[in-house]
Amino acid sequence: MLWHIQGPGSLGCLWAARFAAAQQPVRLIVRNPDALARYQQVGVVRLSDANLQQTQSYPINAQLPAHSEPISHLLLTCKAYDATAAIAQVAHRLNQDSLVVLLQNGLGSQQAVQALVPDTCCIVASSTEGAYLTEPFHSVFAGQGEIGLGSLDSKPEPEGLINNCHSAQIPCAWTTAIDTTLWRKLAINCAINPLTVILDCNNGALIAHANLINTLCAELQSLLKAAQHPAAAQDLQQHVWQVIEKTAANSSSMRQDVHNKRRTEISYMTGFACAQSIALECPTPALHALHAQLQAALSMRGLPIS
């Protein structure tokens, strides 16, 4: 299986290094000639362990989206807000036998990508692994986790996909309930991430705002039920508090983005949830207020509000 990895940031480089370590053919697709020139100065993807004690280098070929090589297996690892533009750049290289794996947080971008390439099989992923970059193309594997892979429209498991990933030590499993996984993660992210930005605090500090968190959980639970995802709604409040306790010392990914002056994935978290609440006529006033407060907090820091 030849993998093309479009969006070689933290997770893209992690996956690319694993395929390369397993001697599987892999290519990077970078966004523009400047990024290609930057990569070619070094010519390798680096992967370090969490303590930065061991670093391996993998000489992986990189190319531009406009390259002519056909794509059979594409892993898209850009941020949710870049996903449709990215897929549009390589759509001419896909065919009806191609497989695209979408690794974006939140919801909304996956459906938008599939709509742009309706004849191509898109599989969605939800990852709890953690990685960050020390510099371009140097990823640090910061947290063990697992990856659920599945289809949002009941496509069957693509033959060989999971085995291929396992042979590269990628801890993934096929699930027929990926929608439940993604909707529950969305709800957990909506209950935690925006408040950590608004209050500029670690996840654990949210314990002081229990009433608001519980109100948000109740609204999000109604929304998940209205969206026909009752399994994701089950025990939501309990799940949210478990995550807060387990990650008490951590900064949420959205707060990290804000501290790094990076655009957030707000439109695919509270933005998506608010849009669904309107479309499904399921009122979520606290969530709408939170979304507006988050936009104000982003705007104050000079960051995009969508």
Token code pair at residue 265? 């994935």
Nearest to 305 by CA among 291, 284, 290: 291
Q: Binding ligand KPL by CB under 6 A: which of 75, 99, 172, 188? A: 188
Partner whose footprint covers residue 125, from ligand KPL, ligand NAD, none (CB < 5 to 8 Å by kind): none
Q: Does 294 bind ligand KPL (CB under 6 A)?
A: no
Question: Which partner from the list ligand NAD, ligand KPL, none does 103 bind, CB cut-off 5 to 8 Å by kind?
Answer: ligand NAD
Does residue number 192 form part of the binding site for ligand KPL (CB under 6 A)? yes
> In this complex, which beta carbon is closest to ligand NAD, that of residue 6 or of residue 181?
6
Element (H, E) at 176: none
Q: Please pick, from the candidates 47, 86, 117, 149, the single residue that binds ligand NAD as defined by CB under 6 A.
A: 86
CA–CA separation, 102 and 242 (whole Å): 27
**Binds 247, which of ligand KPL, ligand NAD, none (CB < 5 to 8 A, cut-off by type)?**
ligand KPL
How far is residue 217 CA from its own chain's centroid?
Answer: 22
Given a contact cutoff of 8 angstroms between Cβ atoms, the answer to whether 13 and 110 are in contact is no
Residue 248's CB is within 10 A of a number of other CB atoms, namely 13
Give CA–CA dist 142/177, Å, rounded: 27
Query: Distances in Å between the alpha carbon of 23 and those of 16, 141, 169, 170, 209?
Result: 11, 19, 12, 14, 49
- Strand 121-127 with 99-102, pairing: parallel
- Answer for which of 189, 267, 276, 295 binds ligand KPL (CB under 6 A) is 189
CB burial of residue 238 (10 Å; 0-12, 13-18, 19+): exposed
Q: Taking contact as CB under 6 A, which single stretch among the options 21-29, 113-121, 159-167, 188-196 is the one that binds ligand KPL?
A: 188-196
Rounded distance, CA 116 to CA 76, Å? Answer: 14
221, interface contact from ligand KPL, ligand NAD, none, CB < 5-8 Å by kind: none
194 vs 219 by CB, closer to ligand NAD: 194
**Stretch 223-262 residues interacting with ligand KPL (CB under 6 A):** 243, 247, 252-253
Task: List interacting residues with ligand NAD (CB under 6 A).
Answer: 6-12, 29-31, 65, 77-80, 82, 85-86, 89, 103-105, 127, 130-131, 133, 253, 265
Task: List interacting residues with ligand KPL (CB under 6 A).
Answer: 188-189, 192-193, 243, 247, 252-253
